[in-house]
A and B are shown apart, each in its own frame.
Chain A
């Protein structure tokens, strides 16, 4: 059976959930082989085995993380040339898509980004124009390279050997053009990542100011959720820009999306329309966001949200 290469997303030794999702998908089309860059593979191996990785190609050198994107693409290209895999799967994160793009050029392959599913014949499903249209497409040249949106697949365990195999350890000078000199971690570090989170709580114009976002954070923390914000809120400087959900921000597909004080301009809907379940809290009954709601409360968020937090805490306490 041909290999399916899966580029691991990990934070040190911790394997990200999207990688387990990719392994779950990959098992349907071939033998999953993880590609791991940087240190931590030995510690992350159990998790990869749990989700069916047959092999783990490890390029442990620190320099794979010291330069922007290019070293990972170079490593994958070498593995594609050596092993002729049936496909390469990466997470459809900004960096994952960039790795996929450079790999596509290096290998003369087609590229599909932001897939929400993969069917027979490696036909990828995408949700475009803010979720209005569903497109099915496939790669017709080279090795199919597919970037899959986090949270689009339910990870299912299935044991694998996860045999560790050392892979190319040298990064070429050509891939050392853009050097990372420091990684700066900002606020929100304790919460799940926005695109990975199962639950996202977002605040918008109705939140009113930066201080009031503490209420959104409190609700998010009660649910173990990530915090998002509409463009109105990030443009106003109430919440950091990297948490913007929408047409010009992040696209999220969590199990549950709570839109609080967000009217639902097309700009915002484009980023969250594919969420599985959507709950809305807004005082304006005419707000277009209610069209997407599985459950909506028309009311003042400053009374509804504190009550909701109390109820959640009572229920989780009992």
Chain B
């Protein structure tokens, strides 16, 4: 099975993240960059499916040159090779433009199954699986907490507020996974050493056959009007429990008309 796992490099969620004043895009310099932690579950699922059914796992990432660090991390977990779509013309792409570029690369390299994390921890839109399925004309299997495949058909549990839906489709398909699905492996020392020799193909927009007019900040279908830091919350009332903490909490709730 030819499995492609999409990986995004994001700013560390533990650091202070901000936007650039000039163009309201993500300030990638202000915080450390890491692999999107939810993508690690996608990599793990890809590796498990390849181990069970045979085949190759290819990592696909779109991002600046620095994203190669996240690609190596993914390769060190055990993926076979990688494709890095990197081009200055991609800077500032919104989700729609991003999906157009990634769909073009997927069309070029081919796939039986594309796997994504459920969302990126920076933009948090959770729509790339739907966008890729729409553009590629293949089934959308998103928010999976369980996956089974025989190489022809695929069955998942799609997470829902009330529990889950059982969903099935034929391959090829686009799959996104939630963190409940597995426990991602840590790269072994051997894996880290092996990753340094694994092939990473670098593609420009021209290589991928993407029209530069359809990606990047200028092609985005929405624009930021303004942004500002949220004013800090006003300090609240903190009481120490001296046997009456529950009562005081109830008084507060009553004063606020919650009870």
Contact = CB atoms under 8 A, between A and B. Distances in A.
B24 A109 contact: no
B168 A315 contact: no
A246 B77 CA distance: 26
A133 B165 contact: no
Interface of B is mostly: mixed
A104 B96 contact: yes
Interface stretch (B46-54, B79-87, B108-116, B129-137): B129-137
Q: How large is the interface on A (under 10, 10 to 19, 20 to 34, 35 or more residues)?
A: 35 or more
Q: How large is the interface on B (under 10, 10 to 19, 20 to 34, 35 or more residues)?
A: 35 or more
B167 A178 contact: yes
B161 A177 contact: no
A127 B133 CA distance: 28
Interface of A is mostly: mixed
B197 interface: no
A111 B220 CA distance: 10
Contact of B248 (A113, A123, A297): A297
B237 A295 contact: yes
A311 B255 CA distance: 13
B241 A279 contact: no
Given A104-B96, A137-B223, A299-B240, A310 B246 contact: yes
Contact of B124 (A114, A177, A295): A114
Given A101-B131, A111-B222, A179 B163 contact: no
Contacts of A61: none
Interface string A245-278: 0011001000110000000001100100000011
A186 B130 CA distance: 25
Contact of A101 (B24, B37, B127, B244): B127
A294 B138 CA distance: 48
Interface of B: 13-14, 16-19, 24, 37-38, 94-96, 99, 121-122, 124-127, 129-131, 133-135, 137-143, 145, 157-170, 173, 178-180, 220-230, 233, 236-241, 243-250, 252-254, 256, 258-259
